[in-house]
Amino acid sequence: MCGRFSLRVEMDELLNYYGLIQSSYAYTPRYNIAPGQSITALLDSNGERRIGPLRWGLVPSWASDEKIGNKMINARAETLSEKPAFRQSFSRRRCIIPADGYYDWKKDTKEPYRITLGDQSIFSLAALYDTWISSDGSKLHTCSIITTESNDLLLTIHNRMPVILPREHHDLWLDRSMTDITLLQPLLIPLPSDQMTAYPVSPLVGNVKNDVPACIEPL
């Protein structure tokens, strides 16, 4: 699964990676990003890529209560087209969540691990978003990170991992005119083990209040 992640790069590096010229978004590097918080997202808006905040925990537009988002931090790739909460977003409202590492807890010992690309660079998590309107008319923009089965490297930690999209798949994933899910589903596969690394980190990461460099340091 994916319940915590980090994004420590500066704004210039983030904009350069995604080919964006500028943004008024008030971005801050983070070491321990948790569900329910505002997170950085990239999406297509009227043919233009934009970076900005979404709350982590998807609240479907038809939901009667925003609290449902607490249960919607992850969406299983295998059942996106079947679940009412995710079906429309999979077809029309896809986004990318930038990260440079994510955390998971080993299933038998509960030890926290940080998982990154081999070169520790930025990567793109496949995600869905939606907009919920409250009774007073205010809008809430939320998202859910898509997971798939783990690759061989990560299987000893957890049987699920987030979908990491290679750069060559960004355009197709963000294209809102693409609604054919039979062309999108093949993108939702585990990134190969040889492109990733994992190492144990301090239990500090278990507390959402600890958003500090010590969270990413090898134990």
Q: What is the pLDDT of residues 64-94, one digit of tens each?
A: 989 999 999 999 999 999 999 999 999 999 9
Question: Kind of pairing, strands 139-149 and 123-133?
Answer: antiparallel
- Output the pLDDT for position 1: 73
Q: CA 113, CA 101: separation in Å to the nearest integer?
A: 10
Q: Confirm if 73 and 142 have CB atoms less than 8 A apart.
A: no
Q: Given the structure tokens 């990560």, which residue do they identify?
A: 154
Find the mean pLDDT for residues 167-174. 96
Q: How far is CA 99 from CA 131, 178, 202, in A?
A: 22, 24, 19
Q: What is the pLDDT of residues 44-53, one digit of tens each?
A: 988 889 999 9
Query: What does the mean pLDDT of the chain come to?
Result: 95
Q: Is 111 helix (H, G, I), strand (E, B) or coil?
A: coil
- Output the pLDDT for position 25: 86
